[in-house]
Structure 1
Amino acid sequence: MSRRFTHYDGRYDPRTPSDTSSLVGMLAFAALFPFLLWAVSHPAAAATVVTVGAVTLLLARFGTAAAVRRLRGRSTAFKLPGLGARVEVSLSPKLNR
């Protein structure tokens, strides 16, 4: 049996009201607030960290796409130095749907 909840404008919503988004927002704010204070105290270092992070994400995005184009479903292998383990990697393109 489903209950219906009335909105302030008279509409009905069959979904249960939830404060999840506000809870997630509060936790995210609490987690990021110390970094915000650090960024205000050290703006040059914060700009450097943001720039390096953005460049890293872009290189990972385009580098992965280039590796997929280069490998085209073939596999490549390499050994991890010091461990003697062999790692085999195979990349294939996946269509966005």
Structure 2
Amino acid sequence: MIGMLVTFTPRSGTFDRSTLEKIAGELRGPFDGMPGLRFKTFMVDEDGARARNFYVWEDEEKGRSFFTEELVEKVTGIYGAPPVIEYLDVVGFVDNSAG
């Protein structure tokens, strides 16, 4: 498994939480049932200084190939800031979603 932490920092000011909630709602659909994607979160710092998305991929190749140049350009337009992408080796995982 591989994790990806994607951080967006606005060029000026902060992110508006309601705007990020709207973005998350609009962008959620394509991720539902996406092959190889274990989960994805849309997050914002308490002070709105950074929006962060976290992904866990079952397959490292799919995770590393996800952010194409085209996708980076698209999300830069959506968030108004380019993403900083960090790849992380997942060495342990707890999933309590099954109940």
TM-score range relative to shorter protein: under 0.3
**Higher strand proportion:** 2
**Higher helix proportion:** 1
Quick check: which has more Rg, 1 or 2?
1
